[in-house]
Structure 1
């Protein structure tokens, strides 16, 4: 798969996910820690929704069906009105546990800049990697969104993705994404294809009812 973004573009995208997907947290050993993002698998799952707006639109539709809140349907409609499935899609490969791309080099940039720290833990033979988020990271994305209007999209999108993800961990989010047959049936090592046509049909059907 040809690389469509630079490591620095990936870094700013991940930083928005990590900051807006974090919860308040205090570290007695470091007063600069402001939050924690729990789980690398959760990071991959949320990154998938950023990189595949059509899949996220489908999730918004499901949220509308669960809550009857039209705001989620309107958000899904705006994704297609802005042609996001074509303009903002960043392909990912399907591996054994779902959409994946090695992000160690990207994360190392954020760590080297003093914006976050990775912490590892082991529970029931399962390794979990959490990220402690420093105050400078929050200040950086706030400033970036104000100074560079193009980045405001990442701020808004990652906030709504975090709302939809809720308290679910990476495993639960991956299982949710696997409910899409196109995703689940993608061969290992293959690029996960778009589902925009199917989602658009379902969206149009629902929009006629409101």
Structure 2
């Protein structure tokens, strides 16, 4: 995977290493699946309570977590397919707030889609004994990264949420992201995100632009259609 550097604009929101560490911890806590019996036989993973398998999946879930505008637009796509009213409401809650601006932390566009180095955040979590990372493959060819949540990591995640209610935002958004990604692996999530024109057409090495303006226009159109349909039924 490429690791070209890109310096954020002074006007572009940026996160600190500590903020990234909390977000990634809550993402892994919310997104992990039970570890296998084979995993637990490794001494370093004896206290593991969950695992997120593959870097691609972690990065793609993090993309929707860091980009509420893209998340809302995906909810609108789901609504167009299912016509489930709560999806339209959830998208509206995001797009009619400042969330797409104040909660958006753009990611870089690389060969394999959205990517942002998580090494610093993971280093914080690993040094504190909250998360363990295991690499599969050979020294010259790493095929897969697995991210294990340790028992202490789960305890700390619950403590953070209890002591700092502001972080409940990430818990709620992780749940929404996972519902949207239901049953999709990392490669499938990547393919879905590439369907967004702004995402796919971003120059490699640049930060992926916002879709908030287009999503808000789309929300207005879909709401008007829904209201028109209700009026027609009532009439």
Normalising by the smaller structure, the TM-score range is over 0.9
In terms of mean alpha carbon deviation, does 176-185 or 58-67 score higher? 58-67
Mapped pair 1:130 → 2:142 = no
What CA deviation, in whole Å up to 9, does each residue of 1:117-173 have, x standing for no partner? 1112249x8711111111222222222112112111011101111121122121111
Return 5+ residue gaps in structure 1 as ranges.
Answer: none
How many angstroms apart in 2 are the aligned matches of 1:42 and 1:138? 20
How many angstroms apart in 2 are the aligned matches of 1:183 and 1:143? 36
Corresponding residue for residue 180 of structure 1:
196
Of the three residues 51, 57, 74, the one matched with 1:59 is: 74
Contact 2:95/2:215, CA 8 A, preserved across alignment: no
* Residue 68 of structure 1, CA deviation: 2.5
What secondary structure, in the 3-state scheme, does the structure 2 residue paired with 1:91 have?
coil
How many angstroms apart in 1 are the aligned matches of 2:161 and 2:79? 28
Corresponding residue for residue 15 of structure 1:
25
Q: How does 1:157-196 map to 2 (within 5 A)?
A: 157-196=173-212
What secondary structure, in the 3-state scheme, does the structure 1 residue paired with 2:217 have?
helix
Name the TM-score, length of structure 1 as normaliser: 0.92
Contact 2:135/2:142, CA 8 A, preserved across alignment: no
In terms of mean alpha carbon deviation, does 176-185 or 63-72 score higher? 63-72
What CA deviation, in whole Å up to 9, does each residue of 1:16-67 have, x standing for no partner? 1111010122513444111111111111111111111110101111222233
* Residue 10 of structure 1, CA deviation: 0.5
How many angstroms apart in 2 are the aligned matches of 1:68 and 1:28? 46
Corresponding residue for residue 128 of structure 2:
113
Of the three residues 213, 226, 234, the one matched with 1:197 is: 213
How many angstroms apart in 1 are the aligned matches of 2:72 and 2:180? 11
Mapped pair 1:48 → 2:63 = yes
What secondary structure, in the 3-state scheme, does the structure 1 residue paired with 2:114 have?
strand
Corresponding residue for residue 230 of structure 2:
none
Contact 2:109/2:203, CA 8 A, preserved across alignment: yes
What CA deviation, in whole Å up to 9, does each residue of 1:58-95 have, x standing for no partner? 11112222333222211111112221111111121111
Return 5+ residue gaps in structure 2 as ranges.
Answer: 1-6, 228-235
Q: How does 1:137-156 map to 2 (within 5 A)?
A: 137-156=153-172
Name the TM-score, length of structure 2 as normaliser: 0.83
What CA deviation, in whole Å up to 9, does each residue of 1:90-127 have, x standing for no partner? 1211111111111112111111111111112249x871
